[in-house]
Structure 1
Amino acid sequence: MKNKILITYSVPKEGLTQLSSHFELIYPEKEFFTKEELIERIPDCLGLLSIFNREVDASIIKAGKNLKIISNYGVGFNNIDINAANNQGIVVCNTPDAVCEPTAELCMGLLLSLSRQIASCNNGLKTNSEFEWGVMKNLGSTLRGKTLGIIGMGKIGKSVAEKALVFGMNIAYHNRKPISEIRWKDAVYMNLSDLLEKSDAISLHCPLTPKTHHLLSEKEFLKMKKNSFLINTSRGAVVHEADLANALEEGTIAGAGLDVFENEPLIHPKLLQQKTALLVPHIGTATIETRIEMGREASENLILYLNNGIIKNRVN
């Protein structure tokens, strides 16, 4: 009899082929298992494949009497009660490789759309019969020669930097410590205050922790250039949403492209009213290829640990 893995959400089965050859998979018949259903099924399972937008709280973890590993389908892991997992000696892993490129692509897409007013022009043409054309109308700004300030120079931050360099941008970054790779010798390390003041666009790629919660709020927005853009494809609560809405309304900054929000799926009502806010519903990794690859990476975490004792992508 095979050991059991509990799959919390109906992710593409193509990504779980290898996992199903090693373990018995308990897979939801509907979109996802409810909390009560997880608690009922988890006692018999050695592994849990969780998903970034569904909470795995202490009560679920406590019910996992035989649970040895949680492999989170996503790079963020703030949906998991890490303290509860630590207390039970449970390994928690994520999928940082699969999510890198699609998130970086979306980041650049949001930046391009804001800087060249792509979304606003599209909306204007479709909804306003009197939308104005003209040589000096709908002027945006070019990216070449501008400075992109990256907060969190990990895998995704570096991928964004590589793409921005192709557009002729200069790279500044803020990290816990400067990175040492020779290939990034021309990227300028700055403290947060300097980065905010000198960048033409800010892109967030840091995890949500107590230190990064509301990392950017009114004080930080006031330091940014009036013609600057903010891009957030990391975690919503890194930004104080109400303060951002005020900054956009008052013209403190020129625009914001957001894939993530503080209280998803709810969005601050004032933010929804801002014409300079470009909003998408947490689609950073939303390609079918990525969803399948995330399943493969999450599966690999489970197989390596439960079969060979090898820990990959651990976050606790």
Structure 2
Amino acid sequence: MSSNWIVCSTAVTFGRGSDEPIERLKAAGCEVRLNPYGRPLTKEEMLDFAGDASAIILGNDDLPASVIRRLKRLRIIARYGVGFDGVDIAEARDLGIEVTYAPASNREETADFTFGLILDLERHISQMVIDTRSGGWTKLTGTSLYGKTIGIIGVGQIGCAVARRAMGFGMDILGYDIVQRNEATVYGVVYTTLNDLLRRSDIITIHLPLDESTRNLLGARELRLVKPGSILINTARAGIVRHGALDNALQSGALAGFAIDVFSKEPPEHQPYYDYDNVLVTPHVAGNTFESSRRMGNIVVDNILAVKSGVEPPDPITPQHLYESMIVMGQSTGKQ
């Protein structure tokens, strides 16, 4: 095998928290290029940046068939994260290109951040920080988490990690998922329908992958069902919630608060509700810590070096993964 491997990372945070993954690639004879834009790449930028790449460390960029076909040297697409929407996996497989991911690599960090957003919304922390810094002294009355009900939409690895934390706050926990994992019940999750979860939950948090079947899963009809005074957290994918319906729910008071860390485009186009006092907007950082960056980076490197050496990578996206993902994503058809 030739050692002249070019590894292009579009993932903005790859190598940022730790140099170890980059140094491992260099030690293996790879040329490493890091994202020069600080954001996901367009199709044209991808071709210019990674046109001669043997490996792409993929961030939140789309990689459609039209681009994959023009990356003639590409041997592996190593997803820097757990989601693989936006990648034409069938095209990659047809061309003999491996597609890998980093399972559970930022599960705990995303769950931590989810609860950070919940606490901020329920106790008005950011609002009071801004007010106090500007000379104010307004003591806003918050809402306790103890005894409240949290509804987790998508009870996979991150959803279960959120449930574990909710147990510590003394919360009742509802879960909605087509695949009802026994592990979740250990953490107090009681499975129910989506409609029932929306009606009963004080806090709703989304942890689903995005596909055409989950796109706009929460629209006007669903948001009319929510319990008065509830809040909604989205650290999964932006397209799961309809922007217009969300704005209406916030303006009408149907939702008492909303927090989002994920966007269809980065940086996102400004939405009117970003300016509301009861909305938190963060720049897609839920899973990003020094520890998770090192962990994800090393998982990605393990996969790249395996393919470079001509062996099966440890974390391939297989037909079974796609099948299970389709089952989970089919939740949007079972709302009753």
Taking the aligned partners of 2:281 and 2:103, their CA distance within structure 1 comes to 24
Aligned equivalent of 1:191, options 187, 190, 193 = 193
Which residue pairs with 1:290 in the alignment?
A: 292
Match of 1:15 in 2: 21
CA shift for structure 1 position 292: 2.4
How far apart are the structure 1 equivalents of 2:175 and 2:99?
28
| Contact 1:8/1:38 (<8 A) preserved | no
Q: C-alpha distance in 2, partners of 1:115/1:28?
A: 38
> Relative to structure 2, which stretch is displaced further, 87-96 or 97-106?
87-96
Shift of 1:218: 1.1
Change (3 A) 1:273 1:34: closer
Residue 5 of structure 2 corresponds to residue 4 of structure 1: yes
The change in CA–CA distance for 1:45 and 1:261 in structure 2 (over 3 A counts) is closer
TM-score under structure 1 length normalisation: 0.88
Does the CA contact (< 8 Å) of 1:39 and 1:59 recur in 2? no
Q: Is the 8 A contact 1:241 1:261 kept in 2?
A: no
Q: Is the 8 A contact 1:106 1:284 kept in 2?
A: yes
The change in CA–CA distance for 1:247 and 1:29 in structure 2 (over 3 A counts) is: closer
Provide closer, same or farther for how the CA distance between residues 313 and 144 of structure 1 changes in structure 2, counting only shifts above 3 A. farther
Contact 1:95 1:313 in 2 (8 A): no
Which of 264, 272, 279 matches 2:266? 264
Match of 1:148 in 2: 150
CA contact (8 A) 1:202 1:231 kept: yes
Aligned to 1:123, the other structure's residue is in SS state: helix
Partner letter of residue 309 of structure 1? E
- Secondary structure of 1:244 counterpart: helix
Aligned to 2:92, what secondary structure does the other structure show? helix
Match of 2:100 in 1: 93
Q: CA deviation at 1:46?
A: 3.8
Distance 2:72 2:138 in 1: 65
Q: Distance in 2 between matches of 1:196 and 1:175?
A: 13
User: Aligned residue pairs: how many?
Assistant: 310
The answer on whether the counterparts of 1:103 and 1:233 sit within 8 Å (CA) in structure 2 is yes
SS across alignment from 1:173: strand
Q: Match of 2:87?
A: 80
2:102/2:315 contact within 8 Å kept: no
Partner of 1:123: 130
Deviation at 1:3, TM superposition (A): 4.7
Q: Tell me which residue corresponds to 1:241.
A: 243
Q: Does 1:209 align with 2:215?
A: no
Residue 247 of structure 2: SS of its match in structure 1?
A: helix
**Letter paired with 2:121:** L
Counterpart of 1:27 in structure 2 is 33
Residue in 1 aligned with 2:47? Answer: 39
Greater Cα shift, 195-204 or 183-192: 183-192
Q: Is the 8 A contact 1:72 1:298 kept in 2?
A: yes
SS at match of 2:258: strand
Q: Aligned residue for 1:253?
A: 255
Structure 1 window deviating more from structure 2 (245-254 vs 77-86): it is 77-86
Pairwise CA distance, 1:60: 2.8
Pair 17,132 (structure 1): closer, same or farther in 2 beyond 3 Å:
closer
Cα gap change, 1:144/1:44 in structure 2, threshold over 3 Å: closer, same or farther? same
Once the 2 structures are TM-superposed, how far is the Cα of residue 186 of structure 1 from its aligned partner? Answer: 3.4
Equivalent position SS for 2:182:
coil
Q: Which moved more, 1:282-291 or 1:164-173?
A: 282-291
Structure 1: unaligned runs, 5 residues or longer: none
Answer whether contact 1:50 1:73 (CA < 8 A) is retained. yes
Alpha-carbon deviation of 1:224? 0.6
Matches within 5 A, 1:53-64: 54-64=61-71
Letter in 2 for 1:209: D
- Of 57, 69, 91, the residue aligned with 1:49 is 57
Q: Unaligned stretches of 5+ in structure 2?
A: 323-336
Whichever residue aligns with residue 4 of structure 1, its letter is W
Residue 309 of structure 1 corresponds to which residue in structure 2?
312
Cα deviation, 1:19-64, whole Å, max 9, x if unaligned, reads 3333423414845787556535756544322222x33232331123
Instruction: Give SS of 1:254's match.
Output: strand
User: 1:80: Cα distance to partner?
Assistant: 2.2
- Choose the corresponding residue for 1:180, options 175, 179, 182: 182
| TM-superposed deviation, 1:185 | 6.9
Question: 1:293: Cα distance to partner?
Answer: 2.0
Cα RMSD of the aligned pairs, angstroms, is: 2.5
Letter in 2 for 1:47: A
3-state SS, counterpart of residue 268 of structure 2: coil
